[in-house]
Copies of this chain bind each other. A is one copy, B any other.
Amino acid sequence: MGPQSTEVETPRLAEAKIGNDVGLLLAKLHATGSLLNNKALADYGLRERSFSVLTLACSGLEPTQRELADFLSLDPSQVVSLVDDLEHRGLVKRAQGKQDRRAKIIVSTAEGRRIHNKARAALEVCEQTQLAALSEDENTQLRALLKKALWG
């Protein structure tokens, strides 16, 4: 992620036409956001991705690892590592798939839900900081647009 400047710059390069390149805007906002998010989650031994896995494990949706991989745009082997870590720490456990015995369903433990609640609260503060320049409405709007772009 390169240089960790938490400072808010007003870079002259933003003038360039590149400032309209959605790809770059996403990359940059994602980069700075990840930095802040990971910093906020570090208190709970989590990172953006393990937090996402934990969130889905807590969701009641009983995701399989394959679903997690697809949803989080990760390689299945990366999910193995993430779940291994969370499982070793007792935040999550693997259960056998219901119709498919090959699949493993990831569910949260009580401790996992406890940690998740705390981490989620911290992240919300973090997100608000990151999107401080946006009004409440704009914040909601941004979420809606991103979701729509992703799955219509």
A residues near B, CB below 8 A?
1-3, 5, 8-34, 37, 48, 52, 55-56, 59, 61, 63, 67-76, 78, 123, 127, 130-131, 133-134, 138, 141-143, 145-152
Q: Is the CB of B37 within 8 A of A2?
A: no
Pick the residue among B10, B70, B134 that contacts A149 (CB under 8 A).
B134
Q: Is the CB of B55 within 8 A of A17?
A: yes
Residue numbers in B under 8 Å from A131 (CB-CB): 22, 149
Residue numbers in B under 8 Å from A25 (CB-CB): 143, 146-147, 150
Using CB atoms, name the residue of chain B closest to A142.
B145
Q: Is the CB of B9 within 8 A of A72?
A: no
Using CB atoms, name the residue of chain B closest to A10.
B151
Given A134-B148, A142-B149, A11 and B73 contact (CB-CB distance below 8 Å): no
> In the assembly, what is the distance between CA of A59 and CA of B2, in Å?
23
CB distance from A37 to the nearest CB of B (A): 5
> In the assembly, what is the distance between CA of A145 and CA of B146, in Å?
11
> In the assembly, what is the distance between CA of A9 and CA of B124, in Å?
27
Q: Is the CB of B14 within 8 A of A151?
A: yes
Pick the residue among B16, B59, B67, B127 that contacts A18 (CB under 8 A).
B59
Q: Is the CB of B18 within 8 A of A27?
A: no
Q: Is the CB of B23 within 8 A of A26?
A: no
Pick the residue among B28, B69, B143 that contacts A73 (CB under 8 A).
B28
